[in-house]
Chains A and B, each alone.
Chain A
Amino acid sequence: MGTPALANEPLAVGTSVRIRTLMPPGHVRAPVYLRGKTGTIERAIAPFKNPEQLAYGLPAKEHMLYRVRFGTRMQKTLTI
């Protein structure tokens, strides 16, 4: 459920992103309350191995980890 593995530039600060509404079972780190919601990239942090694969002891690809800001007056910030 994380952002796709990036071969090129990370997403720029301020880029609008929407969390996919897919609802698979298993170890998924995008919480349901944010699926389908649109936020903006607050910062790119660093590449991290995908926890959704590490959880099963599988070799894991690195994805860029982002802080994403949602909402206006009450802002929620999710690290995805």
Chain B
Amino acid sequence: MDTKTDGRRWHDMGGQDAGPICDDQHDFSLWEKRVDALMVLCSGKGYFTVDGLRRVLEDMGEEAFETMSYYERWIASINQNLIESGAYTTEELAAQMAEVKARGATYGDASLGK
């Protein structure tokens, strides 16, 4: 956790100075919608709560916020929460990720079109 010396955590942004608001919006790709779905389903099934999702996102720190996209941070947090809940182990995840990566160089190839 990167808590500044005054006690304010990085994600606690209200009232800070910041630059102009960019009119950023993009439609979500399939993989992002899948991440979103996994959050809703797994929290609905009791593996973790939206509070746990937020807590891990906060603990990932400010650099993650600056360098990773929204759903990249979400899948990282969902995964952390699932491991903490015992849904699967780090070892199982590692093996599965290696298998996925070996399928091909694009999302389409690696996701078996499912």
Contacts and interface: CB of A to CB of B under 8 A. Distances in A.
A37 B48 CA distance: 32
Q: Main secondary structure on chain A at its contact with chain B? A: loop
Interface string B1-39: 101001111001011000000000000000000000000
A13 B49 CA distance: 30
A10 B14 CA distance: 28
A45 interface: no
A4 interface: no
A11 to B, nearest CB: 23
B72 interface: no
Contacts, number: 46
Interface residues of A, number: 16
Contacts of A34: 14
A52 B9 CA distance: 15
Contacts of B89: none
B55 A56 contact: yes
A31 B54 contact: no
Contacts of B66: none
A25 to B, nearest CB: 5
A56 B15 CA distance: 27
B49 A54 contact: yes
Interface of B: 1, 3, 6-9, 12, 14-15, 48-49, 51-52, 54-55, 58, 84-85
